[in-house]
Structure 1
Amino acid sequence: MYALSPTRERRLIWLLALVQFTIIMDFMVMMPLGPQIMSAFHITPAAFAAAVSAYSWCSGLSGLFAATYIDRFDRRRLLLVAYVLFALSNLICALTTSYTLLLASRAFAGITGGVLGAGVMAIVADVVPVARRGAATGVIMTSFSLAAIAGVPAGVLLGAHFGWAAPFWLLEALSASIGCVAALTVPSLVEHLRAGAPAIADALPALWRMLSRVRHLKAFALTFTMMLAHMLVIPFISPVLVANHGVAPGRISWLYMAGGAATFFTSRAVGRLSDRLGHRRVFRIFGSLALLAVLGMTHLPALSFAVMVPFFALFMVISSGRMVPLQAILTTVPEAAERGAFLSANGAVQALGTGFGAWIGGMLLSTDEAGHVLGYGTNGWLSVSLAALALVWIGRVTSAPAAREPLRVVTDRDDIAPDARPTLASEG
C-alpha cells in the first residue's frame, strides 16, 4: 500500500470524486431530457428507454471485461486513457444527428464509465488504509449528491435553452478540465503489479477463478441484491409523485436538489462514523432505517409539498447512508493483486442489478384510466424483502485474510519514492 501525505491524499480523493461526478451526471442527465430527445429524433418512449438502458448494460459488460486487464496496468495510465475515451463519447453524443449514432454513443459512454468506476475505487483501495476507507468512500459518493444538486439541474436548464445536446457539451468541457488536473495530480500506482499479472492466454481462466471464488461470490450476491432492491423503487419516484400526488414536473428538481444537498454533507459523516463504529454495524443501522424509508416512500399519503421536500431529503440520506459502508466493505473482500479485477466485476454485477431492478419494477407497475400509477406498494414490499435479506447476508461476506502491506511514500515531486523507508499497515 502507498502512503501519501494527508494533503495529497485529500486532493486525490476529491479529484476522483469529480471524475465520478461526471460519470454520474452523464448517466442521470439523459432521463429528464427525454421529451426533447424523442422530439429531435422522432422516436418512441421505448426507443428512448433503450438509449438510457444502453449505458447501464454496456457499463456492466465493460466492467466485467475490464477485470481481465485492469490489474495489468498502472492505475494512473488506465484512468487517464479511459477518461479521454469517456470525453470522446460525450463529444460524439453532442454532435450526433441520428438515433443510431445516439444509441452507439451512449453504449460507448457506458463502456468507458464502467472501466472508470472500477478504476476510481481501485485507486481508493490502493492508497487509503481500511481504517480511513469509509471516510474516503463517503467523499467519492458525494459525486451523486453533486450530480443531483448541480449537474442535472444545470444540464436540464441548458437543454431547455440551447437544445438537448447542450448538457453533453458541458460534460465535454468538464471532462477536459478535470482530465488535465488528473494528469498533474494522480501519481503512478504500480504496487499491485509486483504480484505479476497472468499471461494473456490465462486471462479468461484467471477471470473465472476470480469470479468463482466463494468469498467473491458472496460479495457479488450482496451487490446484486442491494441494487435490485434499490432500483425497484428509485426510478419510479418521479412518475408516481407526478401521477399520484399531483406534484408539478417542474417541482421535481427541487426535491432532488434538496436530497442531493442533504447527502452532500451526510455521506462524509456516515463514512467517518463507519470508520469509527465498524462498516458492517453502520450498514445494518442505515439498512434497517431504509426499510422504513422505502415503505414510507412507496405508501406515501397525501402530503403538502413543504412536507414532501424534507421527507425526500431524509429518504435520500438514509438510502445513500447504507451504500457508503457497503462500498468500504467491498474493497476489503479481494486480495490486493485482484482488487482492480474484483471491483470491475463488482461494477458489472451492480449494473446488472440496476438493469434488472428497473426492468422488473416497471413490469410490476400499471396505470389506470385516470393515469395513476398502480402497484408501487408491491414494489416497495419486494424491495424491503430483498434489503432485509441483505442485512442478514452481510454477515456472510468476509474480507481477505489480513495482510501487512508496505506503505510506499509518494512525494509531491515524484510519483513514487523508491528509497522511502516502508512502514506497515494492515488491510484487515
Structure 2
Amino acid sequence: MLSIGTLMMVMPLGADFVQYLNMKPEHIGYISGGATFASALIGFFLAPYLDRYDRKSALILFLLIRSVVIIICGFSTTQNELLFWFVLAGCFAGPISGLTMASVIDITEVKERGKAIAFVASGFSLAAIIIVPVSLELSAHFSWQVTFFLFGSIGVGFSLLSYFYFPSMVGHKVMGDKVVGDKQQPSSVGMTAMITSPVFISALSIVGISMFGHFLLVPNLSTFFQFNLHFPREQISVLYLLGGVASILSMRLCGQMLDKGWITQTVLVTSILVAVVTFIGFLWQGNWPLYVVFTLFMASSSARSASVSAITSRVPLPHQRAAFMSYQGTLSNVAAGLASAVSSLYLLSDPAGRLIGIETLAMVTIGCALIVPFMVNILMNLLARRQQTALQL
C-alpha cells in the first residue's frame, strides 16, 4: 500500500505542483511516467537475480532505500529536482512489487490465490482511501513537501518492523536448478524457456494492454476534475476515499468469484464496466454525479486489475515467481509510463488550465478494456494445454 501510495499521491497533487512549482498541467504525467519507466528498467535487469536471495532481506533493502529517497523528494525546490528524485525512488518500486507478490504466491494454495491476490491488490485501494486523501489534506493545510516527509518516514519505519517480524523466505532457492530426467539444467535455461513461452508472452501482453489503457487517464484525473469539470479542490480527497472503498469491496467480490472458477466471466464483466464508465465519464459527460462516475471507474478498474493478476499468477513455476512478478511489474511500469508520457505529449491546456484532447484518450482506454477478455480466454486455453502436456510426461 505504501509503495503504491507514494506513486499515486503525486497524481492528485498535480494541481499543487502547477501552483507552487510552475509546472504545466499537461506535464503532470511526466512525474508518474518517469517513475514507472525507472521501475520497469531496474525491475527488468534485477528480475533474473531476485529468486537467488532471501525475499525478506531483498525486500527490506529496497524498501529502505526507496523510503529515504522519498524523503529527499520533499526538499525539491523546482519541478526538475522533484522529477529527478521521484524517478530515482521509482527505481526500487519494481523489485518491491515483484518480491511482495512472489511472497504471497509462495504461501497460498492455488484454490485460494484469487482472494489472496485480491487482498494484496487492495493496497491500491487502501492507498486511495488513506494515502491520497491524507496527502491532499497535508498539502492543503501545510505544504506538499510534508507528504513526502511523512510517508517516506513511515516507509523507513516499516523497513525496521519487517526486519523483526517478516519471516525469512528461502524455500524457493532450493528449486533454482530444474531437474529434467537425469540431466540438470541451470536456472538460466529455465528462465529463457519461461520468457519465450506462449503463456508468458500472453500473460504479459494482457497486463501491458490493461495498464496502458488505465494510465492514459489516471495521471490526469485530478487535473481534469478541477480544471475541466470545476470540481472543488477541497473535495478531491473525499472522491478518492469513496473510490478506494468501492475498489476494496469490488476486489473482494472478484476474488471470491475467481476462486469459484468464474475466471473468464469475471474479467469480461469488469472489462465491460470499465468501458461503459469511461464512456459515461469522459465522452458522454451527462448529468451523472462525478462521485458516482469516479467511484464506479475506480471499482471496475481495480477489480479488473486484481482479476488479471490472479490469472497471471498461475503462469510461473515456484522457483521463477519473483522473476516472473518482476518482469510483470516491469511491463506494467513500461505500459503505465508510456501511457503517461503519451497523454502528456498529446494533451494540451488552454489559458484556464483545461485539458484538451482527453476524449480521444478515453476512446483508446475503452478499446484496451474490450480487448482484455479475448486475450484472457487465449491465456486460459494455453494454460490448460500446458497442464495437459505436463501430465503426459
Q: TM-score, normalised by structure 2?
A: 0.86
1:251 pairs with one of 235, 240, 243: 235
- Mapping 1:368-379, distance limit 5 Å: 372-379=354-361
* Map of 1:223 onto structure 2: 207
Three-state SS of the structure 2 residue aligned to 1:143 is helix
Question: How far apart are the structure 1 equivalents of 2:373 and 2:251?
Answer: 20
Q: Which moved more, 1:51-60 or 1:124-133?
A: 51-60
Q: Which moved more, 1:126-135 or 1:179-188?
A: 179-188
What CA deviation, in whole Å up to 9, does each residue of 1:278-299 have, x standing for no partner? 3333112212222212211222
- Aligned partners of 1:223 and 1:350 also within 8 Å: yes
The Cα of 1:96 is off from its aligned counterpart by 4.6
What RMSD, in angstroms, separates the aligned Cα atoms of the two structures?
2.9
Question: How far apart are the structure 2 equivalents of 1:270 and 1:171?
Answer: 30
Cα gap change, 1:33 to 1:288, in 2 (>3 Å): closer
- Aligned partners of 1:36 and 1:164 also within 8 Å: yes
Amino acid corresponding to residue 230 of structure 2 in structure 1: G
* Map of 2:89 onto structure 1: 109
* Map of 2:153 onto structure 1: 173
* Map of 1:75 onto structure 2: 55
Note if 1:189 corresponds to 2:169: yes
- Aligned partners of 2:56 and 2:168 also within 8 Å: yes
* Map of 1:263 onto structure 2: 247
Note if 1:123 corresponds to 2:107: no
Question: How far apart are the structure 2 equivalents of 1:402 and 1:185?
Answer: 37
- Aligned partners of 1:270 and 1:321 also within 8 Å: yes
Note if 1:391 corresponds to 2:373: yes
Question: How far apart are the structure 2 equivalents of 1:329 and 1:319?
Answer: 16
What CA deviation, in whole Å up to 9, does each residue of 1:271-321 have, x standing for no partner? 1222123333311221222221221122243436xx331232122211211
- Aligned partners of 2:128 and 2:241 also within 8 Å: yes
Amino acid corresponding to residue 67 of structure 1 in structure 2: A
Amino acid corresponding to residue 25 of structure 1 in structure 2: G
Q: Which moved more, 1:213-222 or 1:202-211?
A: 202-211
2:341 pairs with one of 352, 359, 374: 359
Note if 1:235 corresponds to 2:219: yes
Cα gap change, 1:345 to 1:246, in 2 (>3 Å): same
* Map of 1:294 onto structure 2: 278
Note if 1:160 corresponds to 2:144: no
- Aligned partners of 2:29 and 2:341 also within 8 Å: no
Cα gap change, 1:77 to 1:294, in 2 (>3 Å): same
Q: Which moved more, 1:100-109 or 1:345-354?
A: 100-109
Q: Which moved more, 1:376-385 or 1:28-37?
A: 28-37
Question: How far apart are the structure 2 equivalents of 1:277 and 1:314?
Answer: 24
Amino acid corresponding to residue 144 of structure 1 in structure 2: F
2:71 pairs with one of 78, 91, 106: 91
* Map of 1:339 onto structure 2: 321
Q: Which moved more, 1:349-358 or 1:94-103?
A: 94-103
- Aligned partners of 1:280 and 1:329 also within 8 Å: no
Amino acid corresponding to residue 238 of structure 1 in structure 2: S
- Aligned partners of 1:55 and 1:107 also within 8 Å: yes
Amino acid corresponding to residue 68 of structure 1 in structure 2: P
Question: How far apart are the structure 1 equivalents of 2:197 and 2:54?
Answer: 25
Q: Where do 5+ consecutive residues of structure 1 fail to align?
A: 1-20, 404-425
Question: How far apart are the structure 2 equivalents of 1:367 and 1:165?
Answer: 26
Q: Where do 5+ consecutive residues of structure 2 fail to align?
A: 179-185
- Aligned partners of 2:69 and 2:89 also within 8 Å: yes
What CA deviation, in whole Å up to 9, does each residue of 1:241-267 have, x standing for no partner? 334433233333322221112212332
Question: How far apart are the structure 1 equivalents of 2:188 and 2:314?
Answer: 23
Cα gap change, 1:111 to 1:261, in 2 (>3 Å): same
Three-state SS of the structure 2 residue aligned to 1:299 is helix
Question: How far apart are the structure 1 equivalents of 2:333 and 2:383?
Answer: 23
Question: How far apart are the structure 1 equivalents of 2:345 and 2:21?
Answer: 26
Cα gap change, 1:396 to 1:319, in 2 (>3 Å): same
Question: How far apart are the structure 2 equivalents of 1:46 and 1:280?
Answer: 37
Amino acid corresponding to residue 286 of structure 1 in structure 2: T
Note if 1:319 corresponds to 2:319: no
What CA deviation, in whole Å up to 9, does each residue of 1:122-168 have, x standing for no partner? 11111111111111111112211221122112112222333222111
Q: Which moved more, 1:86-95 or 1:254-263?
A: 86-95
Cα gap change, 1:205 to 1:162, in 2 (>3 Å): farther
- Aligned partners of 2:34 and 2:87 also within 8 Å: yes
The Cα of 1:333 is off from its aligned counterpart by 0.7
The Cα of 1:35 is off from its aligned counterpart by 5.1
Q: Which moved more, 1:178-187 or 1:70-79?
A: 178-187
The Cα of 1:85 is off from its aligned counterpart by 1.3
Identity of aligned residues (%): 26
1:279 pairs with one of 259, 263, 268: 263
* Map of 1:63 onto structure 2: 43
1:308 pairs with one of 290, 293, 300: 290
Question: How far apart are the structure 1 equivalents of 2:290 and 2:276?
Answer: 16
